[in-house]
A = this chain, B = another copy of it.
Amino acid sequence: MAIAVGAHPILAPGWSGKEHTDIALVDCDVHQTVEKMDDLIPYMSRIYAQQAREQGFRLAGSGYFNVAGDIARQDLAETDCDGKHSGHHVGYRYEQLKAQHLDIWNVDKVLLTGASTYGASVLPDPDFAADMCRAFNDWTIDQWLDNDDRLLAAISVNVNDPQSAIAEIERLGPDPRVRAVMLPTGSRMPYGNRFYHPIWEACEHNGLVIGIHPGNEGAGMAGPPTGVGYPTYYIETRMARPQMAMAHAVSFIAEGVFEKFPGLKVLIDECDQFWAVGLMWHMDADWKSLRDQTPWLKRLPSEYFRGHIRVGTQPMLEPETNEQFWMMLNALHAEETLVYSSDWPHWDWDDPASTFPKLPERLHRRVFADNARELFGL
């Protein structure tokens, strides 16, 4: 496979293909994962390393089968960069990301969103969970960030233990490569709840974005992944992603998080986009009747959304007609709210060239670079 490196952009349908000197392509969802959880053990405290070595990591499962074959791209598994078949769980080596994503697509910046430790926030023991998060963050710095200045990290924290989450934010927040915390959609409470506000205060103080990504839905203490209990099939849990995104987004807004922490931004990845449109319309309509219950809100709910919440492109909605597609981008205020996300290396990832038809120049810049640059202060 021919690989274009560096400043040689791809020519493909919908892709501008222009040469550039500044940041023109930011990918807001790239997963780095450990090949096996034991890879974290060298980075862990002695007692927790021992527990993990002897009894495993005790991560809660949800019981839903993913797609047949592999959750990662099988084409990558078969063409690993050093020529040998890499098997399952593609995404555990920097060199692969470099060769098979960054260089091919000429990506300028990526947000590493992890995955291995999303389950930390539904583990019973908060100290074990925090140690696991710390280990994963140190592994990420060691194995990924130190290799390439295109890499940014959304660090792992146990969001259900504000004390350890804040300590980790204070420890790593000053590193300029750390730009976000990463939380799973599946949670015990909606993330606007005041229980979490001390964490959000630390995020704002350290300039970290709150990243939210599918994970933990239906697992352990996260409880059922829909408002009507546990569904049966994996496709239902995928349809639950926009539901969870809605619940978190309205919670941030209704609880006044963005009045309390005006510098705070939220990125919601891999939950599709249409939910944001309907939520803005419905919230604004209802708020006009119910605003006395949340008097700290000074503006329309949709204004908080547009000012503070960003939505990843993957999976990009697939309307029946082109007209509907353009209208939905418009209704989403995509020029403010939408950021390109690939979800590399998962099977349902979206490459930067064919996610969209050719966008107008300005919208292309906003979605592929400028919205993310503003979000992460690049």
Q: Does A173 contact B (CB under 8 A)?
A: no
Cβ B193 vs Cβ A232 within 8 A:
yes
Contacts of A294 in B (CB 8 A): 233, 235
User: 0/1 per residue, A289-303, Cβ < 8 Å to B?
Assistant: 110111000000000
- A3: interface (CB < 8 Å): no
**Chain A to chain B contacts (Cβ below 8 Å), 27 pairs:** A67-B290, A186-B227, A190-B230, A193-B232, A223-B229, A226-B244, A227-B244, A231-B247, A232-B254, A233-B254, A233-B255, A233-B290, A233-B293, A234-B293, A235-B250, A238-B290, A239-B246, A239-B250, A242-B282, A243-B246, A275-B275, A281-B318, A282-B317, A284-B318, A286-B348, A289-B348, A319-B331
From known contacts A224-B224, A247-B227, infer whether A290 and B186 are also in contact, taking CB-CB under 8 Å.
Answer: no
Query: Which residue in B191, B229, B272 is a CB contact (below 8 Å) of A278?
Result: B272
Which B residues are CB-close (under 8 A) to A67?
289-290
Q: Is the CB of B239 within 8 A of A227?
A: no
- A193 partner residues in chain B, CB cutoff 8 A: 232
**Cβ-based interface call for A47 (8 A):** no
Given known contacts A223-B223, A274-B274, A290-B67, A228 and B250 CB-to-CB distance under 8 angstroms:
no
Contact residue range for chain A?
35 or more
Q: Tell me if A188 is interfacial: C-beta within 8 Å of chain B.
A: yes
Interface residue ranges of A343-375 to B (CB < 8 Å): 347-348
The smallest C-beta distance from A160 to any residue of chain B, in angstroms, reads: 11
Considering only CB atoms, which chain B residue lies closest to A64 in the complex?
B293
Does A251 contact B227, Cβ atoms closer than 8 Å?
A: no
A283 at the binding interface (Cβ < 8 Å): yes
- A229 pairs with B187, CB closer than 8 A: yes
In the bound complex, residues from chain B placing their C-beta under 8 Å from that of A292 are 68
Q: Known: A254-B233, A283-B239. Is A278-B327 also a contact (CB below 8 A)?
A: no
Q: Does A285 contact B (CB under 8 A)?
A: yes
User: Of B188, B243, B319, which one neighbours A243 at CB under 8 angstroms?
Assistant: B243
The answer, yes or no, to whether A50 is at the interface (CB within 8 Å) is no
14 more A-B residue pairs beyond the given contacts A228-B244, A277-B278, A320-B331, with a C-beta to C-beta distance below 8 A:
A188-B228, A189-B229, A223-B229, A228-B247, A233-B255, A235-B286, A235-B293, A238-B286, A239-B246, A239-B250, A239-B283, A240-B246, A242-B246, A324-B330
Report B-chain residues with C-beta under 8 Å of the C-beta of A188.
228-229
Complex: chain B residue closest to A66, CB-CB: B290
Instruction: Give the residues from 182 to 199 in chain A that come closer than 8 angstroms, CB to CB, to chain B.
Output: 185-193
Say yes or no: A250 contacts B227, CB within 8 Å. no
A323 within 8 A of B: yes
Residue from A186, A255, A327 having most chain B Cβ neighbours under 10 A: A327
Pair A251/B278 contact, Cβ less than 8 Å: no
Q: Which residues of chain B are near A327, meaning CB under 8 Å?
A: 323-324, 327
Contact status A274-B281, CB under 8 Å: yes
**Chain B neighbourhood of A310, CB < 8 A:** none
Q: Considering only CB atoms, which chain B residue lies closest to A247 in the complex?
A: B226
A318 to B, closest residue via Cβ: B285
Minimum distance in angstroms from A312 CB to a CB of chain B: 14
